[in-house]
Structure 1
Amino acid sequence: MIRHIVLFSAKDPKDVQTIHEGLSILRGIPDARTLEVVLNEKHDALSDEIDVVVYGEFDDEAALAAYKAHPLYQESIRRVRPLRETRIAVDFTAPGKD
């Protein structure tokens, strides 16, 4: 299983909710086992730069590629890219998982 985590920060704090909404359309893509789009609750006093987190679990690289090829993924990019300051993505195979 591949875990896909993407962290976003907004250029302007007033756009955080719009970014969250633009990323939430990703839930309509059927290729993920799990897909969460959440606001960072910023409980860590030393690091509050990230505003929105996307967390996904995919069966394999093919499922992740299908997710990224879906039209809703492109629409999400169109909505979010102009508003975001930072985008950091991490993909890894979950240890001990299939």
Structure 2
Amino acid sequence: MTIRHIVAWKLNGEDGAARADQAAEITRRLEALVGVVPSLRTLSIGPNVAYPDQNGDVALVADFDDLAGLEAYQVHPAHQEVVGYVRSVAASRISVDFEV
């Protein structure tokens, strides 16, 4: 069973340009985890392109072989480093994990 991990963030930048910069940095940092975190099978991430007042600013979709793989990703030191940055710029976060 594959576990799909989806996360969306609303960022705390003061304006659209600041949030776009934050989204780009989150994207850069998370994409750098591919090949570093062994359990991370696929990763797709990008900034929101429509309805900025209603939608989040950036979203991630990542696949793992199983729940153990997702849990290994969550505690991996490289991921934890990214988490520190994301928490510093995120106003809110929502996530969902499901089987595909």
Taking structure 1 as the reference length, the TM-score comes to 0.79
Taking structure 2 as the reference length, the TM-score comes to 0.78
Structure 1: which 4+ aligned runs deviate by more than 6 Å?
Answer: none
Aligned length: 92
Structure 2 spans left out of the alignment, 5+ residues: none
* Backbone CA RMSD of aligned residues: 2.0
Matched residue, 2:73: 67
> Identity over the aligned pairs, expressed in percent?
36
Matched residue, 1:3: 4
Contact 1:8 1:87 survives alignment (8 Å)? yes
CA distance in 2, matches of 1:19, 1:54: 10
Structure 1 spans left out of the alignment, 5+ residues: none
Give SS of 1:90's match: strand
CA distance in 2, matches of 1:74, 1:91: 18
Spell out the pairing of 1:52-63 with structure 2 (5 A cutoff): 52-63=58-69
Give SS of 2:32's match: helix
